């Protein structure tokens, strides 16, 4: 019996020790269960607010802002080996300065010819091609004109209603200005041809004040209506007169004709043996341009250059074609 009681005592002691150890180990978990729900909600709220404010743990890196991330839909940068095509409108003002005319002739006046029309652009690996169809207005008010080697008696009143339709082809090389593809400098040149429409009027003239002929003021000159009509020889050499018979460039009796807008002689085209061009060339070199491309879908270009007819400046705006 003594042995049995001793054994029971040992078993009870062992069981008590095990129970006590288990209770001690379970105590932290019990403390978690004792937390109030309000405390957990408050902790989560604080965490969310810190996230909104951008509070970070020490050593935590700041993530990229949405505005800093590239957007392929609008990114203007162009990839090597890929073609980019645009369709748009071009406008140019061609300036024919009087000093250029006076290199080959006397008289003349500075002329502005405005051109505009559609333009197609294709670009790949910094090489750009522009194909344009442009309407050009070369209408000119009356001015005095004669050949450089001709005498004063050869002055004529000249005016124009000529219009041209240019088909031009430009080739430009691109030099990027920034790394994002928004700005680029271009340089190159262009060629083209234009059929000529409209009229070129010429009329022999005489100075109203023969002692002081002014080749820059057509109002100081009268219209010759025929050879020797009127007869004006003052200030000229022997055998010379202003209204001579060298050509038939006369106002028809000072009256308007159905085929002459103001009665003046209407110059024939090259095809019909006259001096009015039937086809007019376009050659520009150099051409300098600044391209601005804020987004992939749109670009604009400012042009400046020199052509065989004078200086020009203008701009283009184009919309990207789907690729």
267-289 tens-digit pLDDT:
999 998 888 999 999 999 999 99
Query: What are the backbone angles phi and psi of residue 80, rounded to the nearest 5°?
Result: -60, 140
Checking if the pLDDT of 154 tops 80, the result is: yes
d(CA 172, CA 80): 17
Confidence of residue 309 (pLDDT cuts 50, 70, 90): confident
Residue with tokens 């110059």: 267
Confidence of residue 73 (pLDDT cuts 50, 70, 90): confident
Checking if the pLDDT of 31 tops 90, the result is: no
DSSP E strands in 156-274: the ranges are 156-176, 183-197, 200-207, 221-223, 265-266
Query: What are the backbone angles phi and psi of residue 27, rounded to the nearest 5°?
Result: -60, -45
Confidence of residue 258 (pLDDT cuts 50, 70, 90): very low
Query: Residue 314: which residues within 8 A CB-CB, separation 6 or more?
Result: 90, 91, 92, 93, 115, 302, 303
Mean pLDDT of 208-227: 92
133-142 tens-digit pLDDT:
999 999 999 9
């Amino acid at each position: 019996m003594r042995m049995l009681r001793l054994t029971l005592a040992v078993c009870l002691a062992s069981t008590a020790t095990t129970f006590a150890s288990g209770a001690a180990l379970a105590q932290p978990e019990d403390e978690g269960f004792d937390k109030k729900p309000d405390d957990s909600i408050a902790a989560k709220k604080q965490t969310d607010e810190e996230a909104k404010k951008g509070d970070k743990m020490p050593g935590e890196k700041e993530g990229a802002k949405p505005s800093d991330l590239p957007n392929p839909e609008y990114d203007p940068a162009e990839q090597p080996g890929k073609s980019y095509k645009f369709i748009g409108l071009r406008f140019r003002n061609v300036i024919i300065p009087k000093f250029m005319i006076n290199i080959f002739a006397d008289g003349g006046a500075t002329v502005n010819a405005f051109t505009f029309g559609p333009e197609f652009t294709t670009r790949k690996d910094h090489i750009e091609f522009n194909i344009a169809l442009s309407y050009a207005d070369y209408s000119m008010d009356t001015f005095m004109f004669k050949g450089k080697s001709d005498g004063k008696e050869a002055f004529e009143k000249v005016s124009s209603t000529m219009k041209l339709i240019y088909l031009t082809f430009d080739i430009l090389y691109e030099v990027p200005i920034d790394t994002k593809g928004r700005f680029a400098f271009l340089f190159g040149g262009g060629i083209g041809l234009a059929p000529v429409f409209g009229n070129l009027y010429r009329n022999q003239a005489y100075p109203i004040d023969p002692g002081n002929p002014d080749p820059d003021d057509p109002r100081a000159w009268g219209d010759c209506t025929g050879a020797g009509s009127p007869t004006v020889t003052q200030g000229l050499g022997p055998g010379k007169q202003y209204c001579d018979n060298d050509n038939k460039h006369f106002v028809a009796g000072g009256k308007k004709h159905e085929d002459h807008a103001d009665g003046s002689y209407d110059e024939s085209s090259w095809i019909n043996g006259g001096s009015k061009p039937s086809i007019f060339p376009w050659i520009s070199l150099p051409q300098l341009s600044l391209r601005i491309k804020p987004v992939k879908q749109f670009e604009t270009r400012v042009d400046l250059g020199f052509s065989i007819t004078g200086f020009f400046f203008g701009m283009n705006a184009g919309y990207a074609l789907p690729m």
